[in-house]
Amino acid sequence: MKDEILRGLTDSVVSGDVEKCVEYAKKALEAGIDAYEAIMEGCARGMSIVSEKYEKGEMYVPEILCSAEAMYAAMEVLRPHLKVEHVGTPRKVVLGVVRGDIHDIGKNLVKLMMEAAGFQVIDLGRDVPNERFVDIAVREGADIVGLSALMTTSMVVMPEVIKEIKKRSPKTLTMVGGGPLSPELAKAYGADGYAKDASQAVRVAKSLIGGVA
């Protein structure tokens, strides 16, 4: 029953079926499935499949937008039921999609998971100028700045942002993620951490600050 519901949620995201997504999200709650698990094993898994299909040229932007709409619809049902972990003072995380990139589906999922894990998230949105990342990190005393990019043409600005953050806010840690990134590139860019998806982003963030969110 549980696997069937999660599979239905995943398939509905991939097909971009809003009504089915909402239906399966409600079924998940009725079946006693944890909201976080439903999001990660249903919605997030579906978007991972969509991302893979896009990279292979099997899906196109209009279809991705439909999948994203379906995912957000399911999240609206599941979000109020997330069990937020509160451990001490919430750590601040600044998130944004770098300059020249408007693909924010992955970043939005990371934001949701970070908040569910007890982080205070400051979302800068997409196509964020380099200096805005730095200015907000300094102003807010951010513990972590997360940079996201889906395009190879936009990820090249990451080293510039990371370098400036380390210069102006030495205590702030940085992490990167997105389709074209890899652990090797993250290291070359000077980032403190790399995450391939939303669930890993939470684990990496907690690891960077010593497991306390």
Domain ranges of the chain: 2-81, 92-208
* 2-81 is classed CATH 2.60.120.380: no
| 177 burial level (CB within 10 Å; 0-12, 13-18, 19+) | buried
Q: What residues form DSSP beta bridges with 31? A: none
For the chain, report the end-to-end CA distance as a whole number of angstroms: 33
pLDDT single digits (tens) 59-99: 887 888 898 899 889 989 998 898 766 445 679 999 999 99
Report the pLDDT value the prediction gives residue 54, as an integer from 0 to 100: 76
Q: Is 116 exposed, middle or buried (0-12, 13-18, 19+ CB in 10 A)?
A: buried
pLDDT exceeds 90 at position 19: yes
Cα separation, 12 vs 8, in Å, equals 6
pLDDT at 213 over 50: no
Confidence of residue 161 (pLDDT cuts 50, 70, 90): very high
Least confident of 22-31, 107-116, 127-136, 155-164: 107-116
Domains 2-81 and 92-208 share a fold: no
What is the reported pLDDT for 105? Answer: 79
Q: What is the pLDDT of residue 85?
A: 60
pLDDT tens-digit map of 175-184:
999 888 999 9
What is the C-alpha separation between 53 and 155, in angstroms, rounded? 21
pLDDT at position 75? 87
Average pLDDT over residues 43-59: 81
More confident residue, 130 or 110: 130
**CATH topology for the 92-208 domain:** Rossmann fold (3.40.50)
Report CA 193 to chain centroid distance, whole Å: 14
User: In this predicted structure, what is the pLDDT of residue 147?
Assistant: 98
